[in-house]
Amino acid sequence: MAHIPDGGLTGAPDAARGSAPGEAPPPATTAAAATATTGEDGTAAAPPPTVRGWPVVALRTVATLFFLLLLIQPVLAGMFISGDVDLLKLHEANSFVISITSWFQVLAAVLVWRPGRGPLWPIGATVLLSFTVVMQDGWGYARELDLHIPVGVFMVAASTALLHWAYGYRPGRGRRG
């Protein structure tokens, strides 16, 4: 085999020679590429469904807001206990905002599941958190601190876990959630 000026080799197979300068290489065809566009019976297969990422961004946003509002609650309660009685009203107002945010979080989890093609379990987790918020409101007004405080700790832990999952979840990476 001799070297020729265009960069190829004389006498070499076409694949070893490569393409001439300025010429586009031929498209690669493999068996995997052929079966990806056609079904087992040779008919054209439908393209895989598009995975939407915006519902995950919505869940991350609402879950972050929910988490931050939850973290403010024990601070407000602690400052009330230490003597600043006016902060009890702020604790109550923040619980109202948490209640509304918790149901937006349920909506965001539904959007991750249905148009976003994500897992179903975040809906159950967010519904559980929303009902827990409702129970917390009742226990707080009734001054049932034996239930109010530990369940508040549970809510922060559950919200942390949901937030961790939401930021770690990558849409379109299989069916595992």
Chunk the chain into consecutive blocks of 10 residues (it has 177) and report each block's average pLDDT, rounded to whole numbers.
59 56 58 54 66 89 98 94 92 97 98 91 97 96 95 97 95 61
Alpha carbon of 24 to those of 7, 10, 16, 19, 95: distances in Å? 15, 20, 15, 7, 64
pLDDT of residue 4: 60
Please choose, from the candidates 132, 160, 157, 161, the residue with its C-alpha nearest in 3D space to the C-alpha of residue 147: 132
Question: What residues does each domain of the chain span?
Answer: 54-168
The answer to whether the CB of 91 falls within 8 A of the CB of 76 is: yes
DSSP 101: H
The model scores a pTM over 0.75: no
Alpha carbon of 50 to those of 86, 108, 115, 118, 175: distances in Å? 51, 19, 10, 12, 14
pLDDT of residue 117: 87
pLDDT of residue 116: 85
Alpha carbon of 151 to those of 19, 40, 62, 144: distances in Å? 69, 54, 21, 11
How far does CA 85 lie from the centroid of its chain?
A: 39
Please choose, from the candidates 93, 96, 97, 101, the residue with its C-alpha nearest in 3D space to the C-alpha of residue 61: 101
Alpha carbon of 97 to those of 77, 130, 174: distances in Å? 16, 12, 35
